[in-house]
Structure 1
Amino acid sequence: MNLASTALLALAMSTDAFAAAVGKGTALQKPRWSEALRTGAIFGVIEAITPLVGWALGYAASSYVKDWDHWIAFTLLTVLGVRMIVAALQAPDEDDAEKPARHGFWLLAITGFATSIDAMAVGVGLAFLDVNILPVAVAIGFTTFIMVTLGVMVGRLLGNIAGRWAEAIGGILLIGIGTAILYEHLAVA
């Protein structure tokens, strides 16, 4: 996996977390940079760990599916991309409750984990491609940290619509990466 693919994958993996962060930012009363950095750190660490877990699970099973690895990666990335696009197109829920000044740690951790399930699935797919997962996981975690930190502040300014579009773009990027993996394998064969 080259640097450009790693960067695009990290960006794609961070867009659903960005969308959630925009929502978190809109749910707070004028969030400060300290809250945005805290939220970014929680999401970034979780998003870096989940592809490692997925990679370990996929690596354990890779010898059984070596002939189908490119199809598995393509399918996983396409399904995740379509899921992200569909989620982006659904109308956001409106909440009229009082806005808190800060979100609790466990709420952020659970939200971070929920948005990182796709990174775990990507880790599984990357194990089939024999990719060095550590730099990919670090790139995903760091990009998520930046995107979530900015997402909280964007949420303060723009509201929910920016997060929905970011998630749709992330889904399109995932489908593109999956298609490129499949094309690369089929063109060589």
Structure 2
Amino acid sequence: MTLASTLLLAFAMSTDAFAAAIGKGAALQRPHFREALRTGLIFGSIEATTPVIGWAMGMAASRYVAEWDHWIAFTLLLLLGGHMIKEGFSQSEDEENERPTRHSFLRLALTGFATSIDAMAVGVGLAFVDVNIVSTAAFIGLATLTMVTLGVMLGRVLGQVVGQRAEIVGGVILIGIGSLLLMEHLGVLA
């Protein structure tokens, strides 16, 4: 693979995470750059690891990953998004001012994993191409780190504009990402 195709692949793999990060940033009370970077590091680490796992699984498991990846991602994003929407509707105006300043590691890791399952499937495909999986995974991780950090900061602006319903918007974004992934894999968006 050429450097240009590796970079394109890296940024393509980070688009789902970018959209999810906007929702995560919107749900927080004015997140600082440090929190955006923390979120980017978590997502980037996961996004860099999953293609390596997929690559290691090789041809033997590709059928199973390809058959279920979209359902796993959809279910995780639906549950996380639904929880965020529920929280958004249950907040009073006083609680709006008490939005969290950071998300738990577990919540970020689950979202990061849900948005990186496609990278695992890509990793399986990369096992059959002349590619340095370590450098490719590093590019994917760095692209995701960058895009997610920017996404959280963009979500900060969105959170200020949307106000009390920012968590609802974030939940809708996560469900939308999951739905798009599912429709894409089912061939609805072909």
Q: Same fold (TM over 0.5)?
A: yes
Shift in Å at residue 129 of structure 1? 1.8
Match of 1:14 in 2: 14
Match of 1:119 in 2: 119
Match of 1:24 in 2: 24
Match of 1:107 in 2: 107
Distance 1:31 1:132 in 2: 36
Match of 2:4 in 1: 4
Shift in Å at residue 104 of structure 1? 0.6
SS state at 2:103 partner? coil
Match of 1:142 in 2: 142
SS state at 1:103 partner? coil
Deviations 1:38-86 (A, max 9, x none): 1001111111110000001116x49xx9xxxxxx9xxx6xx97xx99xx
Q: TM-score, normalised by structure 1?
A: 0.67
Shift in Å at residue 130 of structure 1? 3.1
State the AA in 1 paired with 2:43: F
State the AA in 2 paired with 1:22: I
Match of 1:56 in 2: 56
Share of identical aligned residues, percent? Answer: 61
Deviations 1:116-175 (A, max 9, x none): 1011010001112232211110000001001111100001113659x78xx7xxx8xx9x
Aligned residues: 149
Q: TM-score, normalised by structure 2?
A: 0.66
Q: Could you tell me which runs of 5 or more consecutive residues in structure 2 were left unpaired when the two chains were aligned.
A: 160-168, 185-190
Greater CA deviation, 129-138 or 145-154? Answer: 129-138
Shift in Å at residue 100 of structure 1? 1.3
Match of 2:157 in 1: 157
Q: Could you tell me which runs of 5 or more consecutive residues in structure 1 were left unpaired when the two chains were aligned.
A: 66-71, 175-189
Match of 1:39 in 2: 39
State the AA in 2 paired with 1:4: A
Structural RMSD (CA): 3.3
Shift in Å at residue 101 of structure 1? 1.4
SS state at 1:49 partner? helix
Shift in Å at residue 37 of structure 1? 0.6
Distance 1:24 1:158 in 2: 10
SS state at 2:100 partner? coil
Distance 2:155 2:51 in 1: 26
State the AA in 1 paired with 2:106: W
State the AA in 1 paired with 2:155: G
